[in-house]
Every structure is written in C-alpha cells, then in structure tokens.
Amino acid sequence: MVTTASDGLEFDRFFRAEYPKLVSIALGLTGDYETSCELAQEALLRCHRSWDRVAGLDVPGAWLRRVLINLATDVHRFRRRERRVPDWARGDGESRSDDPVIDGWWSAVRELPERQRAVVVLHYVEDMSVLDVAAVLGVREGTVKTSLARARQTLAKTLPRET
C-alpha cells in the first residue's frame, strides 16, 4: 500500500469529522465512555488500514459505523457473558449520569436485540434517517422501520411512564 500526503490529509479530515460521532454512537450502545472511545479508535484504525478501499466507497462513514456497531456488539456479548460472574468477582465500570431516567432508558436500550439497539442509536443519537440507517446496516428500509417499531414497543413496556 502506497500512501500519499493527500491520502493522509484526507484521512485526517475524515478522522476529525467522524471520531466524536463514533464516540456518541458507541456510548449509546455500550453506556461506558472509555469503552466508547476505545471502540471509536479501533473502528478508525481498521478504517485507516483499509483506507485505499474505504475511501473509494460512496459513503465511507457507513462502512465505519458498521465496523463500530460490530465492535460494540462484541462488547455487548462479552458483558452478557460477564454478567454470569458473581458480583463479588467483578467490578462495575459502568458510567452513570445524574439523571436516573436517562440511565434507565439507556440501560433498556442496551438490553434490546442487536439490530434494534443499533437502529435506535443510529436513528436517535446520530439523527440518521431510516434510509441512512438502512444503508449503514446493509438492510432494507422496511427492516429498519420494523426494528424501530419493535424497539419502541419493548421500551414502552419496560420503561416507567412519565407522570
């Protein structure tokens, strides 16, 4: 792989534009700021390694978000396995906000199935349209709409109603 100075500048601009967005997405998926930063960095590292190919894509950010979601899914699976470990054997590194309603909402989102979790975060955190979410996840618009509807139903059942 031969890299030119213009390739480096192009990736640098891409990195600076995407990193904060990736951290926000990962935070929505994992609930932990440090993990979110690590996932964003890992996704961007993988992007950099494949920059010759990724830069030529119509929407390089969609490829990057798919990588990030896959990495966050791995973390989620690991945490699910980790929950089987007794409380005394592990520390709790989860970050918490000062608002219990927000913590409860994000906790409920992180319990959704993988696709629903990804759709909710991309749609509400990244403010992506249904079409854009479909492009990032490589699914049809109808799949995104169905996933959003099911996620909303589940969240409505699990979250307390505001009074």
Distance of CA 67 to the CA centre of its chain: 9
133-147: pLDDT as tens digits? 999 999 999 999 999
- pLDDT class for 95, splitting at 50, 70, 90? very low
Instruction: Say whether pTM exceeds 0.75.
Output: no
- Please report the pLDDT score of residue 163 as a whole number: 47
Q: Domains along the chain?
A: 1-95 (1.10.1740), 96-163 (1.10.10.10)
3-state helix vs strand vs coil in the chain, percent to 5: 75, 0, 25
Q: Tell me whether residue 122 is exposed, middle or buried, using C-beta atoms within 10 angstroms of its C-beta: 0 to 12, 13 to 18, 19 or more.
A: buried
Question: In angstroms, what CA-CA distances link 78 with 42, 73, 85, 104, 116?
Answer: 17, 9, 11, 21, 18
71-92: pLDDT as tens digits? 998 887 777 655 554 443 334 4
Is residue 155 within 8 Å of residue 145, measured between CB atoms? no
